[in-house]
Amino acid sequence: MNKKIFRRLSILFLALAVAVPAFGAPASTTGLSGSLESSRGTHFYKDPTKALMVAVFPGFLIHGYGHLYAKDHLTGTALLGGEILSLAAIGMGAMMKSDPEQYQGGIFGTANDVVERTGRRMIIYGGIGFAVTWFADILHAPTAAKDYNDRWNLSPVASLNNGVPTLALACRF
């Protein structure tokens, strides 16, 4: 195995391992979390549109981020695990494809073309897994946020100003 690639994959894995526990931080330690939203004690309204938006961009790098925002930790962690497995498959497939002689023998066979074909398949299936976990987060995160709001009977903060509904704006410093 190429030491340079192994070192990069190790650094990526350690960065993800350090970042994941931060998602479970209580709301009181997350700064402005909930400042624009109604609350029931420690439960804050989760905007379904915001869940969709965080699933799209930060969610591309950290699959399941939309679910983690919506406090659906089980699904969010499962999607993140699927992303890690898909990236591992892509990385292993790329290494097998780049140097098939190193991976000959054992379960991969003895011919270079068999090892290259296996590496190519690992890249393809890893890419499919990457896309599926990302799209699952995008498609289901708004529903997860709505389910959270329904479970805790939460709604956005709104007021009537001369009979016209107006969203309230609040800031904490």
- 105 belongs to a structural domain: yes
Determine the pLDDT at residue 111: 83
Q: Is 53 helix (H, G, I), strand (E, B) or coil?
A: helix
Question: By the 8 A CB rule, do 87 and 173 touch?
Answer: no
24 Cα distance to chain centroid: 13
Expressed as residue numbers, the domain containing 110 is 48-167
- 41 belongs to a structural domain: no
Determine the pLDDT at residue 77: 97
Per the listing, tokens 């289901």 go with 140
- 35 belongs to a structural domain: no
Question: By the 8 A CB rule, do 44 and 33 touch?
Answer: yes
pTM of structure: 0.70
- 5 belongs to a structural domain: no
- 31 belongs to a structural domain: no
- 65 belongs to a structural domain: yes
Determine the pLDDT at residue 105: 77
In order of 3, 9, 134, the CA distances from 53 in angstroms are 37, 28, 12
Tokens linked to 87: 């990236």
- 79 belongs to a structural domain: yes
- 160 belongs to a structural domain: yes
Each residue's pLDDT, cut to its tens digit, for the chain (173 residues) gives: 566 666 666 666 656 555 554 454 444 434 344 444 555 668 888 999 999 999 999 999 999 999 999 999 999 999 999 999 999 999 999 999 998 888 887 777 778 888 889 999 999 999 999 999 999 999 999 999 999 999 998 887 765 667 676 666 554 44
Question: By the 8 A CB rule, do 27 and 42 touch?
Answer: yes
Tokens linked to 50: 């915001």
Task: Give the DSSP H/E element, type plus range, for residue 17.
Answer: helix 3-19
At 145, which amino acid appears? A
* Domains: count for the chain: 1
Alpha-helix runs per DSSP H in 20-173: 48-61, 65-69, 73-98, 112-151
Question: By the 8 A CB rule, do 109 and 115 touch?
Answer: yes
CA angle 42, 58, 152 (to 5 degrees): 25
